[in-house]
Amino acid sequence: MHVDVTPRHLPAAAGTTSEAVVTLTNTRDVIAGFAVRVLGVDPSWVHVADPQPRLFPGASASVRVALTLPADAPAGRWTVGVEVQDLADPAAVAVHEVVLEVPAVHRTRVVLEPPTVTAGRQAVFTAVVHNDGNTPHVGGLTAVDPEARTTFAFVPATVTVPPRASTSVTLTARARRPWAGDPVLRPFEVRTTGTHAPGPDAPPAATGVFLQRPRFTRGAIALVGLLAAVTVFATVIALALGTVVQRSAADRDLALEVAQARDSAATTGTAGLSGTVLELTTGTVLGGVSVEVVSPDDTTTAVATAATTQDGAFAVGGLADGSYLLRVRGAGFAEVWYPAAATADDATAVDLADGAAVDGLVVVVGGVPATLAGTVTGDDVGGATVQVQMPLDAAPLLGSGIVADDAGTPGEGVVVRTVPVGEDGTVEIADVPSPAVYDLVVTKPGYATHVQRVDVAAGESRAGLELPLLLGDGTISGTVSGGAGPLGGASVVASSATVRVETVSLTQDGVGSFVLRGLPTPGTYTVVVSADGRAPATLTLTLTAAQELTGVDVVLGDAQGTLGGTVAVPGGDPGGVEVTVTDGASTWRTAARSGSGSWRLAGVPVPGTYTVTFAHADLQSQVLSVSIDGFGRVTSGAASAGGLDVTMRSASGTLSGTVRQLDGAGGAVAAGNVTVQVASGTVTRTVTTASTPAAAVGAYAVDALPPGTYTVTFTRAGTRSVSQIVVVQAGQDATLSPVLVRPAAVTGTVRRGNDPLAGAGVRLYRASDYGLAGAAPVATTTTDANGVYAFDDVDAPQNYLVEVRVVAGGSVVGVSPPFTLAASEQRAVDVTS
């Protein structure tokens, strides 16, 4: 036969089908059948159009061989063999090599963990690079900030990620930190660079948010203000000396009032109130100041007066039920109304019931009054108001327990002053206690509330403030739910480059619902929803003009989940199988239990993508890439959402089968004592087929073969050797059961004269042994009635001769000439005496 394969170099893209053509020519004189197959790849990848063609003498045929590689086939060169075997002569085998060229497919994606980080000057993220292609990815990462105000650094700068694997890179984002004000939202995108450029089908870039806090805390700003006040005090003391001298008489009178207040008390009722006075700049308690209880209807006359003790405490009793205002005055301090207002109009009333007492009141007293002035900018600023609030997240009120006012502003501070805005937008706020840190809150119905933080030095006259009034007629509403249903008390924050609005979901009467009001429109907002013990959720929502966006339903998953499942091993105890879970930045380990094979790993952050590796010394490792949602359910990478169940395979394979041989009648019988050699480039194993018992004759088995491609050669005396190629995979029980050609045989007829000689003894000798003393024949037999004899299963190649005696043990009557018997040859040797 003649075989030709085209092409010899075959492009074979992963996931697609490539074809080669095998051209066969029958060079024999009879009709012949052939078997065509492909060696060196998984048989399920191969389709042969006509695997057993039959050809007339001299005819040719073309057989198409289609090869479909799986989508995860690695890039590079693969060498496979196209084998053609003559079915009538199993020893006639032709093998042609074909080189498969699998092109590289670059496909990488990036996932940021966590997607949002709140920090100061720099934020650290973990960027997980997943290689979904079929070739190693070599390159780095790049990040883009739409505002071009953030710089990015990656460690390591370059990574090498094998196919179907992942690795992590530490991303550090840095930006100029604001001195004060609201946190700044800095979104960015991260993509891969290196061996390929992102194409039109590339995965989307990973998005992250760097939520940057101001450079200094509010307490630090207040301290800086105090230091600045001390610095300029020497400069202004000369100018202020006259004022101090003028005020000294007033302070003296006030001190006398405080002294008198120590002994004064109301005696008209049974209610009372008590609290503490704090110093504005340091937050320390203030003793020796006067606390006056006045009626809201008449703020000129005190109903009762008390003085603070050395620990800043005051108490007033004997009050009738009703509403009261508190005024605090002291030498060297500006007059303050509870809790920190400069005028009675901005003060908070204290309601007393008959016989009841209100305690825990905190009043903040400042020093020299300051003045703030500026302009409110925007469309139609008339009717807007500006409130001066003392923030609760900075000293001295930090942790004091004062509840926010009910003015409906986004600030949670205590109102010090409230002033209207003129039609031209100008605003001036006098008599502000200083030094201190304040929030200036600009409000107007139908507009967004704007909060701007300022640091006021002692006695400062601050001018040129610009306070924007932004349109805020948009709303976002929806519900927050957890795994068990609606979730109350969750924080909901909507922010853009200029606005930050926050609220919490309701805990009763519509549990879990929320509404974000006063959002300027049109605009795009990043909405972050978070709750204790839950993984935060981030949404990007766009509002059109005056849009009221409803139905925003957010489901928060658990912050941590559990991975688990079962491990099964072939014919053994799964105990000791190590399970490793990693997300590229952190790694967790556990082991399967003895007997059941179950494993469980709690405390895994969710949602997330993890690589799970199952390993054991004598088993083939298994690696799974799984994704877990916020509720601990496996969404990809496993057959079940409830767990990861795997069956591990042996790290080696086996090859077994039964060797048979054609006999004289054309049948195939089991052949014992056949040498079986299994060889690859690094491994050679040799076994012999069984000769006993009768049921196992011809059987063989080769265990613990490393995965690979092997040449298997079957050798038996008197028969041509047969070789075949077999691919052994890890955990596979491969089988190969060849049929050897008929062994060599010598037959003939013994005649005396022209007549057949029946009953004659026939002996087969090696030619080199014949005539030597004591030399024994290889085989003996007796002619039949027709003078015919036969020696089957003769060792070959070898030189022989045939000796004939009249009867067994009688005299020699004839000897054949020596002859060479080839392997599997059927030689006819006639002897005439």
Instruction: Write out 151-175 in H/E/C secondary structure.
Output: EEEEECCCEEECCCEEEEEEEEEEE
Report how far residue 278's alpha carbon sits from residue 437's, in angstroms, rounded to the nearest whole number.
15
The sheet with strand 150-155 has its strands ordered as 108-113, 122-131, 165-175, 150-155
pLDDT digits (tens, 9 = 90+) for 68-116: 888 778 878 878 888 898 887 777 888 888 888 888 777 888 888 888 8
Preceding omega of 391 cis (within 30 degrees of 0): no
The CATH number for 653-740, chosen from 3.40.50.300, 2.60.40.10, 3.40.50.20, 1.10.1420.10, is: 2.60.40.10
Tokens in use for 813? 């009557």
How far from chain centre, in Å, is Cα 695? Answer: 56
| Torsion region of 51: left, alpha or beta (phi above 0 gives left; psi -120 to 50 gives alpha) | alpha
CATH number of 108-215: 2.60.40.2310
- For residue 265, the model assigns a pLDDT of 42
pLDDT at 407: 36
pLDDT at position 713, please? 93
Residue closest to 165 by CA, chosen among 198, 127, 126, 132: 132
Q: Is 787 left (phi over 0), alpha (psi -120 to 50) or beta?
A: left
Instruction: Let me know if the fold of 220-364 is the same as that of 744-832.
Output: yes
Reported as a single tens digit per residue, the pLDDT across 281-296 is 566 787 878 899 999 8
Q: What is the pLDDT of residue 100?
A: 83
Q: Supply the pLDDT for residue 792.
A: 86
Instruction: Look up the pTM and report it.
Output: 0.32
> Which is nearest to 477 in space by CA: 515, 512, 438?
515
The segments of the chain whose pLDDT lies below 70 read: 181-182, 195-204, 216-268, 280-283, 331-333, 366-368, 394-412, 446, 458, 471, 498, 630, 639-642, 808
Task: Give, for 653, the enclosing helix (H) or strand (E).
Answer: strand 653-658
Instruction: Determine if residue 360 is left, alpha or beta; phi over 0 gives left, psi from -120 to 50 gives alpha, anything else beta.
Output: left
The top-level CATH class assigned to 474-555 is mainly beta
> What CATH fold (topology level) applies to the domain 560-650?
Immunoglobulin-like (2.60.40)
Q: What's residue 266's pLDDT?
A: 45
744-832 classified as CATH 3.40.50.620: no
Domain ranges of the chain: 2-102, 108-215, 220-364, 474-555, 560-650, 653-740, 744-832
CATH value of 220-364 in 3.40.50.720, 1.10.1060.10, 2.60.40.10, 2.160.10.10: 2.60.40.10
Tokens matching residue 299: 């703020």
Strand 474-482 versus strand 548-555 pairing type: parallel
Residue environment code for 96-131, b if the CB has 16+ CB neighbours within 10 A, otherwise e: bebebebebbbbbbbbbbeebbebeebbebbbbbbb
Tokens of 222: 């207040």
d(CA 592, CA 752): 84
DSSP state string for 596-633 = T-EEEEEEEESSEEEEEEEEETTEEEEEEEEEE-TTS-
Distance CA 532, CA 511 (A): 16
Quick one: pLDDT at residue 698?
93
Domain boundaries 2-102, corresponding CATH code: 2.60.40.10
pLDDT at residue 799 in the model: 93
**Element counts in the chain: helices (H) and strands (E):** 1, 73
Tell me whether the omega of the peptide bond preceding residue 693 falls within 30 degrees of 0, making it cis: yes
